[in-house]
Amino acid sequence: MKRTLLFSVTALALMSLAACTDDKSKDLDNENPSTGNGPSQSYGPAESTVCLSQMIEGSADIANEVGTSKIGEPYDLWIEGNKTGAVYAVESWYSWHSRDDYSNNILSIANTYAGTTTSTANINNGGIEWSVSNNSLAHFVESNNPTLDAEVRKAINDAWIAIQNIPQPFRNNIDSDETIDAMEACSDLEVLLTNNLQTYVMGLTSNYDNELNAIVANYVDNVVLPTYSELVSGNSKLLDAVNTLAQALMNNPESADFAPACEAWLSARAPWEKSEAFLFGPVDALGLDPNMDSWPLDQDEIVKILNSGNFDDLDWSDSDADDEIEAAQNVRGYHTLEFLLFKNGEARKYVADSEATTPEDMDVNSINYKSWANYMIQVATLLVKDAEDLYDSWTKSYEGGRPYADIFKSFDI
């Protein structure tokens, strides 16, 4: 998705803000932090704050985006009377998966805070069931400022529950009271992360270097890398399912079953949405976010590609102009494949004599089925490449240098 955020708070500005009042670790002017007695030593800022700040800012950004863009833009359009535009602005409306996409975005914040990928959530059990690493922001804040920790966990949980409470599908309930509640919960979460958690962390000193450095390392090793590894695996399985579907479509379109590929798409999409609290570094700099997740799509251009069978414009290079790059990204990625696999929240079916008047009415038919099969393969193949490039940039080499995991863990961002 193209990222449009209302504001971003810089680390420099945050360092000037007052820290939370109940932080046990902050009274360093009157107490020696090692012994608790006598005059204090002089401690500078913790060296890891640049990375900790990035972790929190990434979380605040996606909370803001879910509330103001993913949910808020469709709501605003609907209230203005542009109901067709509102539906088109809803991300993942072909599959009716919007609500779970947004909920997984909130889980990406929970994972960043907890330092694991094993927290789960169930609306019937009250939301998020936390699994917290000892080397995590959650554990550190709980140990030193339990009031703030409780506030952060509650705000994350409240946002997840509020989104899940929106009646399904979101595209049919854009103006519901639950939609308003979800926007407010996301806003509350974003403000708390920015004004409270970020401020608290930026006030920590080098007395806590060992603990904070371990949090950064754990975050990379046990949140970012496993999520991206799962993304590679999910996209590879998605390509396998698409290849199977495409072969069936080519051989006997009447019997082609889209459902397994749809299930593979849903599975592959989950780790991507759970990565959106860390849309920084390679995923941003290399254009991999819009490659995989541009929204809204250029539906008219997708139809042209289906009709022509020409897939040359799906890829791009650094020498291309910005508008050429954006045009390519608007006809590939998860949502293009979603369009090709789903219709009205269900797996597509072959309709031999279908004649559509609008892109969203299109069916796989006797004229386009071969092009449809090839288009799916092209998009799924690019998704695998993008996921592998992203993972490799963190684990092997970033722009010809060290892996980004090493860069982040050494605070060189």
Span 59-64, average pLDDT? 98
Q: What is the DSSP string of 238-272?
A: HHHHHHHHHHHHHH-GGG---HHHHHHHHHHHHHH
**C-alpha torsion angle, residues 401, 407, 410, 413 (rounded to 10):** 120
Q: Is the pLDDT at 381 greater than 60, yes or no?
A: yes
Q: Which three-class secondary structure state does DSSP give residue 107?
A: helix
The C-alpha atoms of residue 46 and residue 187 are separated, in whole angstroms, by 29
Give residue 22's pLDDT: 43
For residues 164-188, give the mean pLDDT.
98
- 3-state SS assignment for residue 346: strand
Residue pair 11/53 in contact (Cβ under 8 Å)? The answer is: yes
The mean pLDDT of 199-217, rounded to a whole number, is 97
- For the chain, the average pLDDT equals 91
pLDDT at residue 356, rounded to an integer: 87
Dump pLDDT digits (tens) for 302-347: 999 999 999 988 989 888 999 999 999 999 999 999 999 999 999 9
Long-range contacts of 342-351 (CB under 8 A, 24+ apart): 342/94, 342/95, 342/96, 342/262, 342/265, 343/94, 344/96, 345/94, 345/95, 345/96, 345/169, 347/257, 347/258, 347/259, 347/261, 347/262, 348/258, 349/258, 350/249, 350/253, 350/254, 350/256
pLDDT for 64-88, tens place per residue? Answer: 999 999 999 999 999 999 999 999 9
Range of lowest pLDDT (95-109, 146-160, 167-181, 298-312): 298-312
Q: pLDDT category, 374, cuts 50, 70, 90?
A: very high
Residue 10 pLDDT: 39
- pLDDT band for position 210 (cuts 50, 70, 90): very high
pLDDT band with cut points at 50, 70 and 90 for residue 35: very low
pLDDT above 90 covers what percent of the chain? 86
pLDDT in tens, 108-157: 999 999 999 999 999 999 999 999 999 999 999 999 999 999 999 999 99
Give the confidence band of 42 by pLDDT, cuts at 50, 70, 90: low
* pLDDT band at residue 8 under the 50/70/90 scheme: very low
State how far the Cα of 251 lies from the Cα of 47, in Å rounded to an integer. Answer: 60
Q: Could you give the 3-state DSSP secondary structure of residue 342?
A: strand
Mean pLDDT on 293-310: 93
pLDDT band (50, 70, 90) for residue 37: very low
Q: How far is residue 199's CA from residue 151's CA, in Å, rounded to a whole number?
A: 14
Which one-letter DSSP state was computed for residue 156? H
* pLDDT given at position 5: 39
User: With bands split at pLDDT 50, 70 and 90, how would you rate the model's confidence at 16?
Assistant: very low
pTM of the model: 0.90
Confidence of residue 41 (pLDDT cuts 50, 70, 90): low
Please give the pLDDT value at position 357.
84
Q: Which pLDDT does position 52 carry in this prediction?
A: 98
Mean pLDDT in residue range 162-168: 98
What SS3 state is found at 410? coil
Q: What pLDDT does residue 313 have?
A: 85
The whole-angstrom separation of Cα 241 and Cα 259 is 10
Judge whether 138 and 114 are in contact, CB under 8 Å: yes
Q: What mean pLDDT do residues 272-297 have?
A: 97
Helices (H), 165-224: 177-192, 198-202, 209-219
How far is residue 242's CA from residue 228's CA, in Å, rounded to a whole number?
Answer: 21
